[in-house]
Amino acid sequence: MIRVLDCLTQQHDYHYVAFAVLVCIVGAWTTLQLFSRAQQSADDQKLGWVFLTAVVAGSTIWTTHFLAMLGFDPLVPHGYAPFLTLLSWLAAVAACVLALAIAISKHRGAALLAGGVFGAGIAVMHYTGMNALLIPGRIQWDETLVVASEIIGIVLGAAAIHVAAHCTGPKARATATVLFTLAVVGVHFTGMGAIDIIPDPTITVPASLIDKSSLAIGIMAIMGIVVGTIVTAHTIDRRSHNSALAQFRHLALHDPLTGLPNRAQSSNVILQWMKEAAATNERLAITGMDLNRFKEINDVYGHNTGDELLMVVSQRLANSLAPGEFIARIGGDEFLAAKKLAGDALSSEVAAFEFASKLAETVSNPVQLADRIMAVGASCGIAIFPEDGTTAEALTLRADLAMYRAKASKANEICRYHETMDERSRGRSELALELQEAMNRNELELFYQPQINMESGELVGFEALLRWRHPRRGLVGPGEFVPILEETGLIVPVGEWALETACRQAVQWPSDLSVAVNVSPVQCNRSDLVMTVEHCLGKTGLAPGRLELEVTETMLIGNLEHAVRVLRQLRTLGVHIAMDDFGVGYSSLSTLLAFPFDKLKIDRSFTSAIDSNGQAATIVRAVIGLSRSLKMPVLAEGVETRQQFAFLRGEKCEQAQGFDIGKPMPAHAIERYLQRFYGPRSSPAGPGRSLQLRSAS
């Protein structure tokens, strides 16, 4: 140790030593930043990031060594052999490539093995660089210190890689940076302390050596490589980020299957055109359109054929548009169109009918798919601004009412809205009254759909889904009555009932299974939601970690501060929070910044389009990549085919649910479902064994 201290204090210029340590710290920190990015990148990008990281790491080791060597004075003329000097840099980079490739492999003990390779690489670089030092004399080595330097490099290097691979956060990165720096500096100065220079006038130094000035230039060149690598990595990352943003902007405003604008985009366009029409005293026609006979085609030929038909029809509609015309797909086979009108009321109505007729004719043209020729018709409803409404919501609703009248009429395929077309609104009011009675008659019940781990096939839990067992209409899905529950406020008592029922039934399942329950924006806006959840957990005895509450972006848009405060309070209880229908709303990215969700759920509209739409597949892949970068687990809804399952599994989607995995089932069927995999249990809440659902189904 005295020789090491003597070497450091008596034979080195402090300025060079300090600069070398500073460069090492900055290079170590940058290396760990890049290594973290390599860990999070997709499989096809990992090797590229590993190489960039290794170049920075190896160059940091080399630069630290030779900067310190610039400050080393052996008291005799000296220089550096060009080949060995270059070889020492290549050795450092190669060792780092190997070490980092091992570290991201995720095999057991990979981080420690990678750290050992990394530390050995530091020693190889140091002693190769020292062999490049030529002087008129002989260098004798203290073998004890040589071995000590190698041990220092391996131990500290292994510790640095282990911390970087297994720990996250600023503290972990700072710790790994210190360990990295100590490994490099420890090897260098311990190794320098191991040398003893004996002058020998009989040994001549070749004239072709690298002197201090040339070495300084070489160091600057390597530092330039480091800076260039960092800039390149930043540019790649920024382009990937911008590409993801562009994809999400398109995702927010366009239908993934057809590429047409979606409901959100249509609302923006209609609102803007209404403002323009009001400013110029002109009119605007809104046309709601629904395809005829489409359901029959879906039932006979399957959903894939139906999707192909929708894509062809949508492309035709888009190509038929003239300036001042707009069309969007707002639902399964529903479209919403708009046209700017000029002239008086009569001529405007004529132009609106001509526009609707053009759309209906475009849709009605036969479509050939493979060896089949198919034809669908269209029912259109027209509402005109300002006569039929002065808000986008009113115009859209009234165009929709007129479209349903046209669909019910055998004589007309196009109808103009009239005030008498309010049957649908009255029907919804009647349904609301029936819902109030349904609660009293216990007609509401919960179904449960299995959720699995994509990699292992193990069952991880169930999502609770609300159903209405109507005395006349049979089993009614939530899409028909949940909006009415929200409008009337009935969603609050129904939501509390659903939450308590789901918790009570989940207690009977194995303790490693969770239950997911949807929370309405109406519930979140109430001040007692946290108290309600806490009461349900205490009353039923369900562990908070087994409850997952699913929320949508809608609940955050109205009052972001209140919603985030409520979600944080729920998180404090130990409950998990998932974002449902991710990507459907316009504010997806800002929502993720506002609150760190425990899970993202990809909306079924994107999953179902994977097989037929390359853009949808790209969007799903981008969502999975985003969730991986944010370290948020992701679940794909609506997995209905093996092709969709295989795609999601290949993209490393963590969890999934859908008909291909398991259909929703009533509570009484879950016990039999679980017994197929768990077998009889002595305790209802006891842990079960692993479930291999893919192989068992």
Residue 275 in tokens: 């403002």
Place of tokens 């944010």: 630
Same domain, 455 and 578: yes
Instruction: Give the pLDDT score at 423.
Output: 59
Distance (Å) of CA 91 to CA 161, 181, 262, 602:
18, 18, 56, 45
Structural domain range at position 325: 263-421
Residue 269 CA to residue 252 CA, distance in Å, equals 14
Residue 685 lies in a domain: no
pTM for this one?
0.46
Specify the pairing of strand 334-341 against strand 283-292. Answer: antiparallel
Same domain, 319 and 437: no
Distance (Å) of CA 571 to CA 216, 474, 602, 634:
55, 38, 21, 18
Q: What tens digit of pLDDT does each residue of 453-485 get?
A: 998 888 999 999 999 888 888 888 887 788 778
Residue 629 lies in a domain: yes
Inter-residue contact 695 to 459 (CB < 8 Å) = no
Inter-residue contact 580 to 600 (CB < 8 Å) = no
Same domain, 389 and 514: no
Residue 99 CA to residue 110 CA, distance in Å, equals 9
Residue 78 CA to residue 210 CA, distance in Å, equals 9
Residue 576 CA to residue 592 CA, distance in Å, equals 15
Distance (Å) of CA 8 to CA 59, 198, 226, 346, 375:
22, 18, 27, 96, 87
Same domain, 183 and 307: no
Same domain, 303 and 385: yes
Q: What tens digit of pLDDT does each residue of 181-193 get?
A: 898 888 888 888 7
Q: Where are the alpha helices (DSSP H) in 254-375?
A: 263-280, 294-301, 303-320, 345-364
pLDDT at 14 over 70: no
Residue 178 in tokens: 């210190």
523: domain CATH number? 3.20.20.450
Instruction: Give the pLDDT score at 681.
Output: 47
Same domain, 311 and 341: yes
pLDDT at 358 over 90: yes
Please state whether 511 falls in left (phi above 0), alpha (psi between -120 and 50) or beta: alpha
Instruction: Give the pLDDT score at 4.
Output: 42
Place of tokens 């691979």: 165
Hey, what amino acid is at 544? Answer: P
- Specify the higher pLDDT residue, 551 or 421: 551
pLDDT at 167 over 80: no
Instruction: Give the pLDDT score at 34.
Output: 80
Whether residue 596 is preceded by a cis peptide bond, meaning omega within 30 degrees of 0, is no
Mean pLDDT score across all residues of the chain:
81
For helices 529-540 and 560-572, the axis angle rounded to 10 degrees is 20
Instruction: Give the pLDDT score at 327.
Output: 95
- Beta-carbon contacts of 681 under 8 Å, excluding residues fewer than 6 positions away, are 510, 688
- Beta-carbon contacts of 338 under 8 Å, excluding residues fewer than 6 positions away, are 266, 269, 270, 273, 284, 285, 286, 287, 325, 326, 327
Based on the number of CB atoms within 10 Å of its own CB, is 564 exposed (0-12), middle (13-18) or buried (19 or more)? middle
Same domain, 445 and 459: yes
Residue 619 lies in a domain: yes
Instruction: Give the pLDDT score at 686.
Output: 41
Residue 200 CA to residue 204 CA, distance in Å, equals 9
Tell me which residue of 466, 463, 460 sits closest to 493, measured CA to CA: 466
Q: Which of 526-530, 556-560, 580-584 has the lowest mean pLDDT?
A: 556-560
pLDDT at 246 over 90: no
Residue 475 CA to residue 454 CA, distance in Å, equals 30
- Return the number of other C-beta atoms located less than 10 Å from residue 531's C-beta: 11
Residue 294 lies in a domain: yes
pLDDT at 695 over 50: no
Total tally of structural domains belonging to the chain: 3
Q: Is 525 helix (H, G, I), strand (E, B) or coil?
A: coil
Residue 684 in tokens: 């209802």
Instruction: Give the pLDDT score at 678.
Output: 63
CA atoms within 13 A on the CB side of 154: 11
Tell me which residue of 554, 481, 559 sits closest to 526, measured CA to CA: 559
Residue 475 lies in a domain: yes
Full 3-state SS string of 193-246 = HCEEEEECCCCCCCCCCECHHHHHHHHHHHHHHHHHHHHHHHHHHHHHHHHHHH
Instruction: Give the pLDDT score at 239.
Output: 63
Specify the pairing of strand 283-292 against strand 137-141. Answer: unpaired
Same domain, 195 and 122: yes
Residue 18 in tokens: 């300090």
Residue 334 CA to residue 371 CA, distance in Å, equals 26
Hey, what amino acid is at 236? Answer: I
Residue 555 in tokens: 């609940």
Q: What is the dihedral sign for C-alpha 92, 95, 100, 103?
A: negative
Residue 247 lies in a domain: no
Same domain, 373 and 481: no
- Which of the listed residues 379, 405, 421 is the one where a domain comes to its end? 421
- Specify the higher pLDDT residue, 433 or 420: 433
Same domain, 403 and 431: no
Same domain, 509 and 378: no
Residue 231 lies in a domain: no
Instruction: Give the pLDDT score at 125.
Output: 84
280: domain CATH number? 3.30.70.270
Same domain, 335 and 311: yes
Inter-residue contact 559 to 525 (CB < 8 Å) = yes
Residue 169 CA to residue 197 CA, distance in Å, equals 45
Residue 658 CA to residue 647 CA, distance in Å, equals 14
Residue 407 CA to residue 422 CA, distance in Å, equals 15
Mean pLDDT of 507-520: 92
Distance (Å) of CA 592 to CA 234, 300, 583, 588, 597:
22, 41, 11, 6, 7
Residue 372 lies in a domain: yes
Q: What tens digit of pLDDT does each residue of 92-129 get?
A: 888 888 888 888 876 777 877 888 888 888 888 888 88
- Which of the listed residues 374, 390, 421 is the one where a domain comes to its end? 421
For helices 43-70 and 170-193, the axis angle rounded to 10 degrees is 40
**Distance from chain centroid for Cα 434:** 41
- Which of the listed residues 397, 421, 445 is the one where a domain comes to its end? 421
- Specify the higher pLDDT residue, 133 or 623: 623
pLDDT cut 90: percent of the chain above it:
23
Residue 410 CA to residue 581 CA, distance in Å, equals 37
